[in-house]
Amino acid sequence: MKDRRGIVIGLVAVIAAAGVAPLLSAYPLTLLTQAAIVAVLAMSLDVLLGYTGLPSLGHAAYFGVAAYAVGILATDYQRGFLVCLVAGLVLATLTAAVFGLLAIRATGTYFLMITLALGMVVWGLAFRWVSMTKGDNGIAGVPRPELGLPWSMGAPLPFFYVVLVAALVAWALLGLLVRSPFGLTLQGIRESDSRMRALGYNVWLHKYLAFVLSGAFAGFAGVFWAYYNGFVSPVDVQLVTSVETLLMVALGGPGTLAGPALGAALIVFLKNFVSVYTKRWLLILGAVYIGVILFAPRGVPGAFRRNR
Amino acid sequence: MTVEFWIVQTFNGLSYGALLFLLASGLSLIFGVMRIVNLAHGSYFLLGGYIALSVIWRTSTFPLALLAGAVAIALVGIGMERLFLRRLAGQTLGQVLMTVGFALIFQDLALLIWGGDPYSLPLPSWLQGVVTAGALRFPKYRIFIMAVAVVIGALLWLALDRTRVGAMIRAAVDDAEMAQGVGIRVPTVSLGVFALGALLAALGGGIGGGFLGVYPGLDFEILPYAFVVIIVGGLGSLPGAMVGSLLVGLLDNFGKALFPELAYFTLFAPMALILALRPTGLFGRT
C-alpha cells in the first residue's frame, strides 16, 4: 500500500512537471532537468540502501565514471549519443563489478568505509590523471546529444522531456526490479542475512548483483548529467556528492523508489534556492543534514536503526 | 632508480605514515569503542591546523600552537559526542549524515574565518634545515614528525596495555555491553576516547600544517587515508593503526613518486589485497 501511494505521488509529480514545463523560463526548467537526473541517482542508491540494507558511501563513483566516459567521448572523439550511452553504462557497470567484489565481503561500518575509500580512488583518478580527465579543470564543452528527433536538444525544453522520459524508464525498470522475486530476496537479506542464508539463498550473489545493478543505474544518471551540465569535473565524483545522494534517500525514506526521487528534487531545489541568496550555502546544507537526523528521523526507517 | 631514491622515498613515506598514525589511531579507537563512522574526523585535522596557525601568528610559539589546536578541537569533539552523536548510537546512516553535516559546517566556517588561501605553518628555527648523512639530506621537520608519532604511539600503547583506564577501553572495544555489565562506565569511556581521537587528529593537523600545509579541502582529502589505514590495519586496533599508517604512508609516497598520475590509485592495490585475504584487516577481529 505504501508502494502504491509512492507511485501515485511520483506520477503526479512527473505529470505536473511535464505539464508546467512549457510555461517555465530556462532557469526553473534547468532545475527540473537536474532534479530528474539526480532522482535516478538517488533511486539507484536506494536499491542498495533501502532494499538491500547496504549503505554505500561511494555512489558518486559510478555516476562520475559514466559522466567522464561521456565527457571524453563526446568532446575528444566526437561520438554520438548511442556510443556515449553504451560506453557510460558499461564502464559504470564494470567499475561497480570490480568494487563490489571488494565491498560485498564486508558488512556494516566496514562496508561504509570501503565504499568511501573506493569512491575516493575514482576521485583521485579524476583529479590526478590529468592527461585523461584534464584534472581539476574538468572537461568543458560537452555538446548536447543529437537523437535524430525533430527537436534540437540544445533547447532546454526538448532536453528536459528526453531526460524525463529517461528517468521514467529508469523508475519503471527499478520498480520491476524491486518487485521481482530477486528484489524480494534483497529485502529478505536486508531483514535477516542469516535467515536467508539458512533458506538456501546465495546471499553474496544477490548482494553483489544488487551492487552492480545499482552502479549501472547510477551510471545511467551520470550519462545524462554529463549532457545536462556540459561539464564534467572531480566535483561530480567527490565524497560530498555521494553523501548528498545518501541524504536524498534518507530524506525521502529508504525502501521506496518515489521517496528518494522526491528527496532528490527537494535537495536540488533547496541547494539552488539557498545559493541564490547566500554564499554560505554549505553552512546551511550542513545544518540541513543535522536537522534531518535530529528532527525527521522517520525519514530514516527502522531497518537502519540497528547496526550489526 | 638509485639507492638514494629508495632511501629518501622510504624516509618520506615513513614520515607521512607517522602523520597518518596521529590521524588514524584516534579514529580507530573511536570506531572500536563506539562503532561511530565519524566523517568529521578530517575536519578536526584541518581545524587543528588552522587554529595552530592563528596561535603561531599571535604568539610565535610552536608547541603552544600545537597544544592550543589540539585542546580546542578536543573540546569540540566532546561537545559533538555529548550533544549529538550519543543519541545516534547504532544508527549508522544517521551518524554518517550527522557527521557530514558537521564537516560541511566546519569547512564553511574555516573558509569564512581563514579564507581560501593555502597556508604553511611557520616552523621554529630548531626544526628548519636538514640533517645530512653523506650525500643524503633529511629535513629535520620530518624527523620531528616521526619522533612525535613514536612518542604518542608508545604513550598510547602503555596507556592501553598497562593502565586501568586502558583495560576499560579494551574491554569496551571487545564488548561494550559486557563492559557496561561489569561496571565500566562505557559512556564516559566513549566520551574520553572520542575527545582523545579529536585531540590526536587536531595535533596531526597542526604538525601536518608544517609540511602538507593547511588549505580548504584538506579535510576531505585526508579522511580517506585515515579510513584506508583502518581498513588495512583493522578496526579498533592500535598495532593495526601503526602498521596500517606506515604501509599506507609508504605506498602513497612511492605511488606519487613512481606514477604521479595514478597516485591515489596506489592505495587501491593494498586495500584490495588485504580485503581479499583478511576482510577484517591485518589486526582486526571479527
Specify the pLDDT at position A304.
40
Q: Which among A49, A120, A280 is the nearest to B264, CB-wise?
A: A120
The alpha carbon of residue A237 is apart from the nearest alpha carbon of chain B, in Å, by: 13
Q: Rounded CA gap, A39 and A81, in Å?
A: 21
Based on its alpha-carbon atoms, the radius of gyration of chain B, rounded to whole angstroms, reads 19
Q: What angle do CA B262, B203, B96 make, to 5 degrees?
A: 65
Q: Where are the domains of chain B?
A: 21-217
Helix (H) or strand (E) holding B19, with range, is helix B3-34
Q: Where are the domains of chain A?
A: 2-304
pLDDT surpassing 90 at residue B30: no
pLDDT surpassing 90 at residue B73: yes
Query: Do A117 and B101 make contact, defined as CB atoms within 8 angstroms?
Result: no
Say what percent of chain A tops pLDDT 70.
95
Q: Rounded CA gap, A178 and A55, in Å?
A: 17
Interface probe for A, chosen from B29, B268, B273, B282 (most Cβ of A below 10 Å), is B268
Search chain A and give the residue with CA nearest B225: A117
Determine which of A131-135, A207-211, B195-199, B276-280 has the lowest per-residue pLDDT on average. B276-280
The number of helix segments (H) and strand segments (E) in chain A equals 13, 2
Q: Which among B96, B109, B272 is the nearest to A243, CB-wise?
A: B96
Say what percent of chain B tops pLDDT 90.
45
Q: Rounded CA gap, A83 and A257, in Å?
A: 28
pLDDT surpassing 90 at residue B153: yes
Q: Rounded CA gap, A173 and A171, in Å?
A: 6
Specify the pLDDT at position A305.
41
* AA identity, residue B97: L
**A-chain residues near B107 (CB < 8 A):** 282, 286
Q: Rounded CA gap, B50 and B205, in Å?
A: 8
Query: Do B231 and A286 make contact, defined as CB atoms within 8 angstroms?
Result: no
ipTM of the complex, rounded to two decimals: 0.82
Search chain B and give the residue with CA nearest A112: B37
Cβ neighbour number for residue A44 with a 10 Å cutoff: 32
The alpha carbon of residue A205 is apart from the nearest alpha carbon of chain B, in Å, by: 16
* AA identity, residue B222: I
Specify the pLDDT at position A108.
75
Specify the pLDDT at position B256.
84
Specify the pLDDT at position A306.
41
Specify the pLDDT at position A300.
44
Search chain B and give the residue with CA nearest A118: B268
Q: Which among A125, A254, A293 is the nearest to B98, CB-wise?
A: A293
Search chain A and give the residue with CA nearest B102: A286
* Mean pLDDT on B116-133: 87
Cα–Cα distances in angstroms (integers) from residue B221 to residues A116, A240, B80, in the given order: 12, 11, 22
Specify the pLDDT at position B269.
67
* AA identity, residue A233: S
The CATH code of domain A2-304 reads: 1.10.3470
pLDDT surpassing 50 at residue A196: yes
- How many Cβ pairs closer than 8 A exist between chain A and B? 144
* Mean pLDDT on B169-189: 86
* Mean pLDDT on A13-17: 85
* Mean pLDDT on B162-184: 87
Determine which of A236-240, B69-73, B80-84 has the lowest per-residue pLDDT on average. A236-240
Q: Cα A200 to chain center, whole Å?
A: 32
pLDDT in tens, A148-188: 777 777 788 888 898 999 999 999 999 999 889 988 888 88
What would the DSSP string read from start to end of B59-115? H--HHHHHHHHHHHHHHHHHHHIIIIIGGGTT-HHHHHHHHHHHHHHHHHHHHHHH-
Query: Do B268 and A118 make contact, defined as CB atoms within 8 angstroms?
Result: yes
pLDDT in tens, A246-294: 989 888 888 888 888 888 998 898 888 888 888 888 888 888 888 888 8
**A-chain residues near B262 (CB < 8 A):** 125, 128-129
Search chain A and give the residue with CA nearest B86: A294
The answer to whether A285 faces chain B, any CB pair under 8 Å, is yes
Query: pLDDT-based confidence at A298, cuts 50/70/90?
Result: low
**B-chain residues near A239 (CB < 8 A):** 39, 220, 223-224
Specify the pLDDT at position B99.
92
Placement of cell 537526473 in the chain: A37
pLDDT surpassing 90 at residue B199: yes
Pairing relationship of beta strands B130-133 and A139-140 according to DSSP bridges: unpaired
The number of helix segments (H) and strand segments (E) in chain B equals 11, 2
pLDDT surpassing 50 at residue B109: yes
Specify the pLDDT at position A40.
94
CB A217 within 8 A of CB A175: no
Q: What residues contact residue A279 under an 8 Å CB cut-off, 6+ apart?
A: none
